[in-house]
Structure 1
């Protein structure tokens, strides 16, 4: 819930500071760029350090960084570069936390991976469903900056859970720079020789370009084109979270009734139709409806793909392989965000949704011509 507060508040704050879609798009791009630059390094550390302690460290660090934004605003020292810098570091820490989470799930539920991943997705999506509604109400009542104090406090809940959990892996020998580079090389070689995992990575890379183009300027589109207020904007964002809840609930029964190889392209095709709807409709809730359809399918797709990765990647290499995989999957996100921002400035903003729909069609094509079809 705290993360969804941050996701809603940061574009709102940047828009109110600058009134620029370029700044909003670049803010989203900067929050993704660290994954491209430091993904392999973060993956190596996840494999070599004790994962519980690493998650506790990243949890506390993120709480302090989020609290720094309203603190700087309160003292009158907040500048745009500080938002960029804080978003940059937060992304690195979140990457390490998220990869660690994926790595420990097989130890918790080795025989029920899809169900475990779906349950984890469900709890996250329920929080994301409530978060935008709360964020909209908080921005109206106390302002965007003060709402971030609640995000900072929310990390205490995660910290309590982590403290109560057991340790999942023993730290390896002392980490040296040469060993880290060796780990990175091993992760890269394993990924490029795994056709199924490499196919997923390229597929997600193209899909993320389109999604980032649309999501990176969503707030600008709602405020500047549709002229919505904070509550209406938050309702559109809430539909994203609701779609995630539905997708996480559907993932297990869908996988039980349909082969993965047939299910994946169908899910992606439905997502493409959602973006097409947003590109042709001016209804104030159309972006939310479109992203609802996309998020349903993306969440179900991500749950299934995560299970495949956990089944095929060795436990002691999952950090390194996922680190490199996320470089590929996130590589197009900054470009997508900036492309969406440019299109919003130069032409009809609805063209961004058409670009996102085309990217989904390419995802379907990849699913049909690669080893994904044999799952």
Structure 2
């Protein structure tokens, strides 16, 4: 949660810094897009490595390296050497390291809590991350920027280093793994993860839907600063307010996620969340008023958390423990590939049709995501597949 606080500062500050360096919507959107591309290149490898190594050690080592990278970037900004190229390089490097960190974190959690408590654990974890990274961090962005353009990045570097120390201090049971077959390669192991994901009808449907949602969110987030400052003619404080309201909605969604899942099942919870998000995006893209944006971001955050908690829990419950890192990597690589595409589409659409067009584009894509989930809406069967099988035997 500590590093999420710094991440939120950096995520909010990067677009604002990019706008100071260029007024081209496509170039601004490229900063966000570049932060997703490493998932396409290294995501599957990150999952295979996460299944091989001590996940706790991998997490603190990654945070240590990320802290040093952001500290160097903060120094460059402070000395007046910031450039779009440097922003792109930072986004690419941090996400490359994140491919290992996120897969290791997903695979580590089931070894810490019972299977029946995974949903609650994910909800608490994601809610805590949003509390630290969104609601608490958002108001600090304008304050830090008044001190200096480098300050959000200085804070981010410090949180990475602190997080590395905290993770390194954890004492967890080492994961129990069977010896790998002789001659096993990363390529073969990543292929096993992809096939296991594809054979599970429920996870496959959720992956496709998440891919579509990420196209929509990529288009929206990459151009949100332009939506606020250009279409609504509001300032940096309004942009920070939108991000803070989104975080507040996420906190509420974290409290609702498990309750909704218990009543409807996890896939139906995703259907509800996607439907509400679609309506929120329509509101944001058609009503040129800050209040409409804030209401839309509140609902978008709440239902986004409902989506995230149930999507991750479903994957953890239906995956063999020894393959969870690879299945998670295959899922994230496939679904995250939509974000850079969406970011570039958002920039192009904003330039061609207006600064509110990305929100409307996102609404259309979210509607398609909801539609793609309908065939998988049968009652949930949250059974954990044994380690010697794929998830193919669990069908809904």
TM-score range, shorter chain: over 0.9
* 2:383 alignment counterpart: none
Judging by fraction of residues, say which structure has more helix: 1
Which of 258, 265, 288 aligns to 1:259? It is 265
Matches within 5 A, 1:154-303: 154-167=159-172, 168-169=174-175, 179-303=185-309
Counterpart contact for 1:63–1:153, Cα < 8 Å: yes
Which of 65, 73, 78 aligns to 1:74? It is 78
> 3-state SS of the aligned residue for 2:136?
helix
Q: 1 CA distance for matches of 2:183 and 2:163?
A: 31
Alpha-carbon offset, residue 171 of structure 1 = 7.9
Q: 1:74 to 1:175 in 2, by over 3 A?
A: farther
Q: 1:60 to 1:283 in 2, by over 3 A?
A: same
* 1:41 alignment counterpart: 45
Alpha-carbon offset, residue 109 of structure 1 = 1.2
> 3-state SS of the aligned residue for 1:374?
coil
Moved more, 74-83 or 127-136: 74-83
Q: 2 CA distance for matches of 1:286 and 1:68?
A: 39
Instruction: Give the CA RMSD over aligned residues.
Output: 2.0
* 2:33 alignment counterpart: 29
Name the count of aligned residue pairs.
Answer: 373
Counterpart contact for 1:137–1:231, Cα < 8 Å: no
Matches within 5 A, 1:293-372: 293-369=299-375, 371-372=376-377
Moved more, 47-56 or 149-158: 149-158
Alpha-carbon offset, residue 161 of structure 1 = 2.3
Q: 1 CA distance for matches of 2:192 and 2:7?
A: 32
Structure 1 position 105 matched with structure 2 position 144: no
Moved more, 68-77 or 292-301: 68-77
Q: 2 CA distance for matches of 1:160 and 1:39?
A: 25
Q: 2 CA distance for matches of 1:276 and 1:73?
A: 37
* 1:52 alignment counterpart: 56
Structure 1 position 84 matched with structure 2 position 84: no
- The CA deviation string for residues 322-374 of structure 1, in whole angstroms up to 9 with x for no partner, is 111111101121111111111111112222111111111112112212x3433
Counterpart contact for 2:280–2:296, Cα < 8 Å: yes
- The CA deviation string for residues 285-328 of structure 1, in whole angstroms up to 9 with x for no partner, is 43232122112111111111211111111111111111111111
Moved more, 288-297 or 206-215: 288-297
Alpha-carbon offset, residue 174 of structure 1 = 9.5
Counterpart contact for 1:15–1:23, Cα < 8 Å: no
Counterpart contact for 1:221–1:349, Cα < 8 Å: yes
Q: 1:158 to 1:171 in 2, by over 3 A?
A: farther
Structure 1 position 15 matched with structure 2 position 53: no
Q: 2 CA distance for matches of 1:213 and 1:368?
A: 24
Q: 1:59 to 1:170 in 2, by over 3 A?
A: farther
Counterpart contact for 1:192–1:198, Cα < 8 Å: yes
Q: 2 CA distance for matches of 1:267 and 1:179?
A: 39
5+ residue gaps, structure 2, are 381-396
- The CA deviation string for residues 125-152 of structure 1, in whole angstroms up to 9 with x for no partner, is 111112121112211x213322210111
Alpha-carbon offset, residue 264 of structure 1 = 2.3
Q: 1 CA distance for matches of 2:126 and 2:272?
A: 20
Q: 1 CA distance for matches of 2:350 and 2:124?
A: 37
Moved more, 342-351 or 270-279: 342-351
> 3-state SS of the aligned residue for 1:216?
helix
Q: 1:176 to 1:32 in 2, by over 3 A?
A: farther
Matches within 5 A, 1:115-134: 115-127=120-132, 128-134=134-140
Alpha-carbon offset, residue 173 of structure 1 = 6.9
Counterpart contact for 1:49–1:170, Cα < 8 Å: no
Q: 1:187 to 1:259 in 2, by over 3 A?
A: closer
